[in-house]
Amino acid sequence: MADIEALNGETFELASNAYRSADNESLAWMRAEAASVLGQIALRTDGDYGRALSEEALRYFEAQQMHDMVANELYMSAFSWWKQRDSQSLKNAEQLFRRSAEAAQRADNPFGVAYAEAGLCGVLEQQGRVAEALLSCRASLPKLKGIRHITEYSTNVNYAAALLANKEPGQAMVILESLAKDWPEWDVGYHGYRYYFIRGQTYAALDHYEAAVSDLNVALSELLEFGDNSWARNNRLVQARFRVEQLAQSLERKTLEAAEKDRRHRLLVVSGVIVTLLLSVIVMMLLRHRRFYRRMAFTDPLTGLANRRYTEARAQEAFVHAKARQQPLFIALLDLDRFKTCNDRYGHDAGDEALKRFAYVASKILRPGDIFGRWGGEEFLLVLQGVDRDEANTILERLRSAAAAERLKLAPDYPLHFSAGVVGLQHDTEQLAELLTLADQALYQAKEAGRNRSYFAKDYAVLN
């Protein structure tokens, strides 16, 4: 997935320069990307300005029907409204989270849907709409489970709060106790206060008043600590700021007779260091989050391969490149044979194992430049560039042999075979969709001929 990682090389400086420079229509995509990065930085400190930048990026992404990016922009804007916590802001957040979920659904991105539902879980709980909050919490948590991201933690806390409001303190306590075991010694910021506050109320509802008082005191301490420090206190910025302030005080004591101008100059230098450190930390954190969101937007969560949308986008790029340079290109649709039988006989877990093992084998066998992704169900798309017909068949047969050698733990008698429909780029081919249609027809012929073989489109000459 090196291509996905390459999308994450943005820096604050590059984003700023790109935003200023990309002022014509041909560079609209660059300005939108830059506005997205800068907007997410600004949302940390200036919600209105950050949302204005995000809205600019959103207009472009919507016009291009880039639904995964639309979902991301809407989520970040919704989250900034949610943090303001007043009644109107919560309504704004709810509306944007719902739009984010719809966009993620259109992008076939279940993780994006889960994140939007997690936001709705918190917003609806804070609005007192308990039944709706419970539905959103339960919709999001199965997908978030095990990702070890703060969203998983905060959604569990919000779920417990909704259960408590629904007069289910026993169930709420089960959720809270599991968090204490699964997230030891994590710095969870504001959500640490929320955890102890909700658990204290839950203890009280269960008539454990001593434990309730203890937790509510801890909640107060956490809230005071959170208020005194910035959202980034879990890094070393606070320590650096403290040391700088100590140095400034020492210098002040030793230079009481120095000129006011010199003293102000020193303070400006110190402030500049702090601001530089803060911006560096913000950019690093933003890029980590952005990498995480992008990976979710472009990856099939079961196999780890590129999902259909990203695979099709890369196939389109390869098609345009090959056609412009009159270079050979072959597209193959691969379908696991008798996959439904595997599911029916051994269960869906065995089917999932088959898909994951096939993806793993393909990642080992295929060349670094080959494009391979999950197309849907048990289908995969393979794009081979710079090869002739015989070379394309050799690659497919090498993959076929490696897959056939695999033995599944959950379905030991299921052979990992596949059929393939293959089509080559012709000089009169105008659209990628034409090749996909021909490949699908050839795949049908391969299935009709007995499976576990490759057919090339048009003449249907069987290979293997």
DSSP state of 25: G
Which residue is catalytic, options 117, 378, 379, 397? Answer: 378
Q: Is 210 noted as a catalytic residue in this protein?
A: no
Q: How far apart are CA 387 and CA 369, in angstroms?
A: 11
Q: Is 342 exposed, middle or buried (0-12, 13-18, 19+ CB in 10 A)?
A: buried
Between the two ends of the chain, the Cα-to-Cα distance in Å is 30
Sheet of 379-385: strand order equals 371-376, 379-385, 329-336, 418-424, 454-456, 462-463
290: helix, strand or coil: helix
**Best CA proximity match to 190, nearest among 132, 88, 141, 122:** 122
Measured in whole angstroms, the distance separating CA 390 from the mean position of its chain's CA atoms is 39
Distances (CA, A) of 141 to 102, 152, 153: 18, 7, 10
Q: Residue written as tokens 């930048």?
A: 53
Q: How far apart are CA 115 and CA 131, in angstroms?
A: 19
Q: What tokens were used for 34?
A: 């830059």
Catalytic site positions: 378
